[in-house]
Amino acid sequence: MITAGLVLAAGAGLRYGMAKALVPYRNRLLVEHAAETSRRAGCERTLVVLGARAEEVVARADLPETVINPEWAGGMGSSLRAGLAALSADPSVGAVVVLLVDMPGVTAEAVRRVLAHAAPDALVMGGYRGRRGHPVLLGREHWAGVAAGATGDRGARDYLRAHEVLVVEVGDIADDTDLDRPGDLDA
C-alpha cells in the first residue's frame, strides 16, 4: 500500500484577487510549494487538482501529476471528489493525505506525523493545540463516504465530524494559517 498526497489547488481565489496556485511564495508558486511538501514528507505519489486558470498553472509550474476539475467553481468539495476519483483507479493507493494550496505553513514534518498512521481504514487530522486542521489523512475505505458528503467548500468536514478521527498534534512544527488575502502572506 502507498499513500498519495492530494493537493487541492483549483480555486479562483476571489478574496485573494487571483488563483492561489499562481501566488509567488519563496521563489516559486504556492502550488509548487504544496506539491514539494507532499514529496518531502514521503508521499510516494502526489496529485494536484487544478481548475481556475489551469492551463496557466500547468504552463508555469513544475508539478507532478495533475487532474483538472471541470466543476472547480462549485467549491473545494468538487476538487476533493475529483482527486479521490482519479486516485481510486490505482489499487495500490491505500490512503491519501490532503493538503490545501493556501496553507504553506503545513510542513513536511507535520505531514510525516500524520502519515505515520496511514492505513486503508484511517481517518487522521493534524491538531493545533486543541483545534483540528490540516493535513488530513483519509484511508481508502472512507473515500466513497467522503466523496458523497463533499459539497461546496465543506470538503470532508461533515464526514470527519461524524466519524472517529485520530488527531495528531502538529502545532509545534506547523502553522495552519489560511491565506485568504494578499496581506496574509506578510503576517
Task: List pLDDT tens digits, range 14-59.
Answer: 888 899 999 999 999 999 999 999 999 999 999 999 999 999 999 9
Q: Residue 73: which pLDDT band, with cuts at 50, 70 and 90?
A: very high
Among 110, 88, 121, smallest CA distance to 43 is for 110
Among 167, 19, 156, smallest CA distance to 101 is for 19
Q: For position 180, what pLDDT does the model report?
A: 80
Asked whether residue 91 carries a pLDDT value surpassing 80, the answer given is yes
Q: Judge if pTM exceeds 0.85.
A: yes
Signed CA dihedral, 132, 134, 135, 140: sign only: positive
Cis peptide before 24 (omega within 30 of 0): no
Q: Which residues is 134 bridged to in the sheet?
A: none
> In whole angstroms, what is the distance from residue 184 CA to residue 187 CA?
5
The identity of residue 45, as a single letter, is: R
Domains of the chain by range and CATH? 2-173 (3.90.550.10)
